[in-house]
């Protein structure tokens, strides 16, 4: 997306699998084994070199980064040149044999994709509602890009808006062809797949986890009502908390989603209609996100920043979560009123 080094089908590239400090070599090799065929089969890219090791760390962090760079003979000569850099795979003699990886023919589109295209022509009432909610949520994140980046530049690494924008635009694009909107559980699962492909950083991983957990909850029910959606939200929050380590009050996106989930369940239990409950929970999400201005960060990059610098600045992740949640709620309300009028 940055256009620094556009890599397209048929390009040659160099792949670097970098450990962040505490990742075993075996796990880095597993990532390399997955990445090479992905580049070849899915994207049609010829991989000229694969470098696997610990090159640039983040203290003793567990995890890895994957980087690809467009290559040509000029670049390869420099990469293969002798060096005394201790961690670089090419030694002082520069006698590293070039790696050769055959480029497989990219597979043709699957029948599943063709079926999705033909089946989603006629949407049910719930399918229309879901479509409106997804579209509104994605567009809200696109509009919020600059604000999110501004907040994140003060409390993080400044790219929250860009990351959310990338995910939102990809979701809008995939919704045209890949999402079977009459299947709510399947659509949530596909959104997770979209996010996993295009969103980087911790937020991409956590939103993928969120979607997968919601899908696992929803797929158990043939008839999905507001109660099933409430259960799915609760399950997704539990999964993000489990794998991300955050809880209420940690100054993360959960500080928006946890109040939303609580109010949604309470409102439905009290007998409120689903739309009223959805709107009330959206207001709770917004209030929860705003409350992060007064919180001390206990997770994420903000936890490394002095509390004095966090005062009056909301958590970007929480604000993003509240924004898409509220946009979805309002779109459902508007869609329902339009259909009744």
Q: Is 47 helix (H, G, I), strand (E, B) or coil?
A: strand
Residue 49 and residue 196 in one domain:
no
Domain presence at residue 60:
yes
Residue 156 and residue 241 in one domain:
yes
CATH number of the domain within which 312 lies:
1.25.40.340
Q: Is 69 helix (H, G, I), strand (E, B) or coil?
A: strand
Helices marked H in the chain — which ranges?
A: 25-37, 43, 73-79, 111-119, 125-143, 145-155, 160-175, 184-198, 201-218, 226-244, 254-269, 274-291, 307-310, 316-340
Cα 236 to Cα 282: distance, rounded to the nearest angstrom: 16
Cα 253 to Cα 89: distance, rounded to the nearest angstrom: 40
CATH number of the domain within which 22 lies:
3.30.1180.20
Distance from chain centroid for Cα 193: 9
Residue 171 and residue 256 in one domain:
yes
Domain presence at residue 94:
no
Q: Given this model, what pLDDT does residue 226 score?
A: 95
Q: Given this model, what pLDDT does residue 269 score?
A: 95
Total domains present in the chain? 2
Whole-structure pTM value: 0.67
Domain presence at residue 316:
yes
* Long-range contacts formed by 330-337: CB under 8 A, 24+ apart: 330/136, 330/279, 330/282, 331/132, 331/133, 331/135, 331/136, 331/137, 332/129, 332/132, 332/133, 332/275, 332/278, 333/275, 333/278, 333/279, 334/132, 335/128, 335/129, 335/132, 336/129, 336/275
Domain presence at residue 89:
no
Cα 272 to Cα 243: distance, rounded to the nearest angstrom: 33
Domain presence at residue 178:
yes
Residue 72 and residue 202 in one domain:
no
Residue 59 and residue 129 in one domain:
no
Residue 73 and residue 131 in one domain:
no
Domain presence at residue 118:
no
- Residue 106: its H or E element: none
The most distant pair of C-alpha atoms in the chain lies apart, rounded to whole Å, by 78
Residue-wise pLDDT tens for the chain (341 aa)? 445 567 888 888 999 999 999 999 999 999 998 898 888 877 788 888 899 999 999 888 899 999 999 988 898 888 888 888 888 887 656 555 445 454 444 443 333 544 455 554 588 999 999 999 999 999 999 999 999 998 888 777 778 899 999 999 999 999 988 899 999 999 999 999 999 888 877 888 899 999 999 999 999 888 899 999 999 999 999 999 988 888 888 888 999 999 999 999 999 999 999 999 999 999 999 999 999 987 765 555 555 555 555 567 889 999 999 999 999 999 999 988 777 66
Domain presence at residue 92:
no
Residue 137 and residue 60 in one domain:
no
Q: Find the domain containing 156 and state its range.
A: 125-340
Cα 176 to Cα 283: distance, rounded to the nearest angstrom: 30
Helices marked H in 80-225 — which ranges?
A: 111-119, 125-143, 145-155, 160-175, 184-198, 201-218
Residue 54 and residue 172 in one domain:
no
Vertex 38: Cα angle to 37 and 43 (nearest 5): 115
Domain presence at residue 96:
no
Residue 238 and residue 292 in one domain:
yes
Q: CA quadruple 182, 185, 186, 190: dihedral positive or negative?
A: positive
Cα 47 to Cα 104: distance, rounded to the nearest angstrom: 11
Residue 40 and residue 145 in one domain:
no
Residue 290 and residue 146 in one domain:
yes
């Amino acid at each position: 997306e940055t256009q620094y080094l556009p890599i397209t089908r048929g390009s040659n590239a160099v792949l670097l699998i970098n450990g962040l400090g505490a990742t075993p070599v075996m796990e880095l090799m597993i990532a390399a084994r997955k990445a090479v065929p992905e580049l070849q089969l899915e994207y049609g890219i010829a991989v000229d070199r694969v470098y696997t090791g610990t090159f640039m760390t983040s203290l003793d962090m567990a995890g890895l980064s994957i980087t690809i760079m467009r290559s040509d003979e000029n670049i390869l000569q420099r990469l293969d040149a002798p060096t005394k850099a201790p961690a670089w795979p090419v030694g002082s003699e520069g006698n590293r044999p070039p790696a050769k990886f055959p480029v497989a023919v990219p597979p043709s589109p699957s029948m599943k994709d063709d079926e999705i295209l033909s089946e989603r022509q006629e949407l049910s009432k719930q399918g229309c509602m879901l479509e409106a909610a997804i579209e509104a949520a994605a567009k809200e994140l696109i509009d919020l890009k600059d604000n999110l980046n501004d907040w994140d530049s003060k409390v993080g690494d400044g790219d929250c808006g860009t990351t959310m924008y990338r995910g939102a635009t990809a979701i809008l694009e995939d919704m045209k062809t890949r999402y079977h909107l009459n299947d709510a559980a399947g659509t949530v699962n596909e959104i997770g797949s979209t996010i996993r492909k295009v969103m980087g950083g911790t937020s991409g991983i956590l939103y993928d986890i969120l979607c997968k957990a919601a899908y696992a909850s929803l797929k158990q029910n043939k008839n999905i009502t507001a109660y099933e959606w409430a259960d799915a939200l609760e399950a997704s929050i539990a999964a993000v908390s489990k794998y991300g380590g955050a809880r209420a009050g940690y100054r993360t996106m959960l500080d928006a989603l946890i109040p939303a989930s609580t109010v949604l369940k309470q409102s439905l239990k009290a007998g409120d209609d689903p739309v009223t409950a959805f709107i009330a929970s959206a207001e709770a999400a917004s209030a929860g996100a705003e409350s992060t201005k007064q919180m001390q960060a206990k997770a994420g990059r903000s936890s490394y920043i002095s509390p004095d610098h966090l005062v009056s600045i909301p958590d970007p992740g929480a604000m993003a979560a509240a924004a898409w949640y509220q946009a979805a709620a309002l779109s459902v309300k508007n869609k329902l009123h339009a259909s009744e009028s």
